[in-house]
Amino acid sequence: MQYYSLGKQSPNVAFKTAAITGQAPDKGLYFPTSIPQLTPEQIERFKTLDKASLAFEVMRPYIGGTIDDVSLQKICKETIDFDFPLVPITKNIQSLELFHGPTLAFKDVGARFMSRCLGYFANAEKKSSYDTTKLASDLTSLQNSNTILVATSGDTGGAVANGFLGVEGVQVIILYPKGKVSLIQELQLTTCGQNITALEVDGSFDDCQAIVKEAFMDVDLNATFHLTSANSINVARWLPQQLYYFFSWQQWVAQYGDNTPMHIVVPSGNFGNICAGMIAKASGLPLGHLVAACNANNVVTRYLKTGNYEVKKSVETISNAMDVGNPSNFVRILEIMQHNFDQLKNGLSSYSYDDEATKSAITRVYNDYGYILDPHGAVAFLAAEALIQEKGYAVILETAHPVKFPEVVEAAIGKKLNIPASVQYLLDKPKQSKPLEANYASFKNWMLGQ
Ligand SMILES: *Cc1c(COP(=O)(O)O)cnc(C)c1O
């Protein structure tokens, strides 16, 4: 299995190169040259297969032999080493809770898989380089070989920091907007130490992202560091996200059997998550309809309605992990749908909701059903209510734990949230961050002066 660039100018590469470089030289996203096809025998067996074996079997073709089987088994096992329960909210709507990982967000799956792959590649190189004449230069290039640079509005930073903590040969630099992430989110990305550095930018998420974008194009920085992005454009982060669609489907068929399709609503921002579901479906996993739930940043919702893809600057909302004006993974969705608008409309629907609707959904779902949604899950719940008018039932992906958005959720349900034991320990750890002005020059000075 190789990967081609959707920019169509760069040569095909193996998984390893795609994972290390993130993006192709022509700035296109990588896409598998063929989508592996599951056999009916596999699908049948998957119904009751343990999660780790299932993950290994699904991911193996995408790795294309660049990681040995024993190591890949270990990577898969570690990646999905927590629960993915399907929990009923109403009679017709269930929640696939993706927030039982270490940073309480679905991004843990992609970040953990990616970090372990890069760690594997860095170590494999080291092991094969005990030629002393080569060693010095290899170690220098290794030190610089993977500097992960990420801008975060909250969730990505924590998941990436946690995923990469202690991974040898990889340095992580996270830019986050000062005062604009929640307490738990900030602690998750500023208390790691070791190979993780948090830069607290005196500006907005857009400022952080602009700095990161400029860094990737900066000739001086790229001569010193091998910069890699850890967002869902990276295939090593994007592709493992399909795994929990399999886990959800296992639980669904156990309840309803084969003949009741599982329709899924995905809170979407950069569209990496839903696009992973679409690739699982394209490989033969029998999923029902897929729905992208969006906040006011609704370029895709509007596109499906009008046929006009009209990019707008992102606006701030309470479901801020979805505040994306121009979703990077949408090109991959078009590729899966063979750039055919009718096929796309058959395979994907989208609904959009504003903050007022989102807040009242959190209140109503808590009052009526005793279930606490986070703002992203609440947008998905609203879309699920629209979908079941036609389809009868739906699963929403609950992408983060409500405690990551305490101000909004506590105001909506009228009570304090309990901090889960798994993140309680963070409250005693000291925050370590480097304040940074919101301009590229300050960032570059800091990088080169390190
Ligand atoms: C990142 C994130 C999303 C959006 O996921 P995409 O893959 O970018 O569409 C939704 N909800 C939460 C909580 C997130 O952290």
The Cα diameter of the chain in Å comes to: 70
- Residue 400, classed as helix, strand or coil, is strand
- Best residue among 103, 245, 270, 271 to mutate for probing ligand 1, ranked by most atoms within 8 Å of CB: 270
In angstroms, the CA 301 to CA 306 distance is 9
**What does the pLDDT average to over 103-107?**
95
Rounded distance between C-alpha atoms, residue 405 and residue 399, angstroms: 12
Residue 318's CATH number: 3.40.50.1100
CA distance 98 to 82: 9
Q: What is the best residue among 95, 98, 103, 107 to mutate for testing ligand 1's pocket, by most ligand atoms within 8 Å of CB? A: 107
Catalytic pick among 16, 107, 281, 404: 107
Tell me which residue range forms the domain holding 351. Answer: 83-104+238-424
For residue 140, pLDDT over 60 is answered with no
Q: Cβ distance 186 to 412 under 8 Å? A: no
269 Cβ inside 6 Å of ligand 1: yes
Question: 268 CA to middle of ligand 1, Å?
Answer: 6
CA dist 403 and 423 (Å) reads: 10
CA 154 to CA 321: how far, in whole Å?
7
The average pLDDT across 231-240 equals: 93
Is residue 399 situated within a structural domain? Answer: yes
Distance (angstroms) between ligand 1 centre and the Cα of 243 equals 16
Asked if the model's pLDDT at residue 131 lies above 80, the reply is: no
Position 215 in a domain: no
CA separation for the pair 49, 37 (Å, rounded): 18
Per-residue model confidence (pLDDT) at position 139: 41
User: According to the model, what pLDDT value does residue 138 have?
Assistant: 42
* Band of residue 137 on the pLDDT scale cut at 50, 70, 90: very low
What pLDDT score was predicted for residue 129?
46
Asked whether 205 lines ligand 1 (CB < 6 A), one says: no
Strands 93-97 and 394-398: parallel
The answer to whether position 369 is within a domain reads yes
pLDDT at 325 over 50: yes
* pLDDT beyond 50 at 294: yes
Give residue-wise pLDDT tens across range 345-368: 999 999 999 999 999 999 999 999
Within a domain: residue 109? no
Q: Which of 104, 279, 79 is nearest to 187 (CA)?
A: 104
331 band by pLDDT with thresholds 50, 70 and 90:
very high
Atom of ligand 1 nearest to the CA of 271: 9
Tell me the best of 98, 153, 155 to mutate to test the pocket of ligand 1, counting ligand atoms within 8 Å of each CB and taking the most: 155
**pLDDT value of residue 155:** 87
Domain count, the chain: 1
Looking at residue 206, what is its pLDDT? 83
Does any domain span residue 88?
Answer: yes
How many other CB atoms sit within 10 Å of the CB of residue 174? 27
Residue 132, both tokens: 């002393």
6 close to 27: Cβ distance less than 8 angstroms: no
For residues 73-91, give the mean pLDDT.
97
How many angstroms does the Cα of residue 322 sit away from the middle of ligand 1? Answer: 6
Across the beta sheet with 93-97, the strand order is 86-88, 93-97, 394-398, 264-267, 290-294, 348-352
Flag whether 218 is in a domain.
Answer: no
The pair of structure tokens assigned to 303 is: 């596109």
Sheet containing strand 434-437, edge to edge, reads 227-229, 146-151, 170-177, 196-202, 434-437
Give one DSSP letter per residue of 209-230, joined into a string. Answer: HHHHHHHHH-HHHHHH--EEE-
pLDDT for 124 equals 79
Active site residue 434: no
Q: Residue 432 Cα, ligand 1 centroid: separation in angstroms? A: 25
Asked whether residue 49 carries a pLDDT value surpassing 50, the answer given is yes
Residue 257 counted as domain residue: yes
Residue 120 belongs to a domain: no
Residue 272 has pLDDT above 90, yes or no: yes
Instruction: Write down the pLDDT at residue 126.
Output: 66
Here the tokens at position 55 are 């993950």
Structure tokens at 448: 């080169």
pLDDT > 70 in the chain, percent: 95
CA distance 287 to 290: 8
C-alpha neighbours within 13 Å on the C-beta side of residue 205: 19
